[in-house]
């Protein structure tokens, strides 16, 4: 069996120590529907919102261990998540600007993690062009071509 696509998100969140209850509970439910079943996965899927941080931290670690889902390779975890997000943007499942916002947050949180730099630059270039005629992040980018550059960049990431 193959884990559900959103697994890349929970592995990234675990690696970054983001324990957003709803994300984890939704993922656990999706995994159950996909045919995965462990005691702790069942507990996680059945939890209510707003759980205690340390309880969630322990439970999510148990679930990932039971399912043999490794989040120790930072590069792989982050790249897989960005590919997942890029596919969501190109499929229309998530607004492109929301994807850029998420990846930019990770870029900063990961101490300016170089493979994500172009997302950061495109995000702020687009942000500036919403309010001004010019941006100073990427040469040759203006209102006439920023949206196409964003689409093309997502397509590059979905080829991985």
The predicted-structure confidence for 124-133, as pLDDT tens digits, reads as follows 999 999 999 9
By CB atoms closer than 10 A (0-12, 13-18, 19+), residue 72 is exposed
Sequential DSSP letters for 79-146: HHHHHHHHHHHHTTSS-HHHHHHHHHHHHHHTTS-GGGHHHHHHHHHHHHHHHSS--SSSTT--TTTH
* H or E stretch covering 155: helix 146-158
For 109, residues 6+ apart whose C-beta sits below 8 A from its C-beta are 16
pLDDT at 49: 64
pLDDT at 146: 94
CB 157 within 8 A of CB 149: no
pLDDT at 51: 67
Look-up of token digits 């990234």 = 12
Nearest-angstrom CA–CA distance, 111 and 25: 28
| The model's pTM | 0.90
Phi-psi region at 48: left, alpha or beta (left = phi > 0; alpha = psi -120 to 50): beta
- The domain locations on the chain are 7-66, 74-158
What are the tokens at 134?
């010019």
Each residue's pLDDT tens digit, 32-50: 999 999 999 999 998 876 6
Backbone phi, psi, residue 84, to 5°: -55, -50
Report CA 140 to chain centroid distance, whole Å: 28
Nearest-angstrom CA–CA distance, 11 and 27: 11
pLDDT at 34: 96
């Amino acid at each position: 069996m193959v884990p559900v696509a959103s697994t890349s998100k929970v592995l990234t969140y675990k690696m970054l120590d983001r324990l957003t209850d709803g994300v984890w509970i939704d993922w656990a439910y999706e995994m159950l529907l996909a045919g995965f079943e462990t005691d702790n996965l069942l507990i996680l899927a059945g939890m209510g919102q707003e759980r205690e941080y340390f309880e969630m931290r322990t439970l999510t670690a148990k679930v990932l261990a039971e399912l043999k889902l490794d989040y120790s390779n930072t590069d792989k975890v982050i790249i897989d998540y960005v590919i997942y997000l890029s596919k969501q943007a190109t499929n229309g499942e998530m607004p492109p600007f929301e994807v850029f916002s998420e990846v930019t947050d990770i870029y900063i949180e990961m101490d300016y993690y170089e493979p994500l730099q172009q997302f950061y630059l495109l995000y702020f270039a687009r942000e500036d062009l919403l309010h001004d005629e010019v941006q100073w992040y990427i040469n040759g980018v203006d209102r006439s071509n920023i949206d196409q550059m964003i689409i093309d960049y997502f397509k590059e990431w979905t080829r991985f």
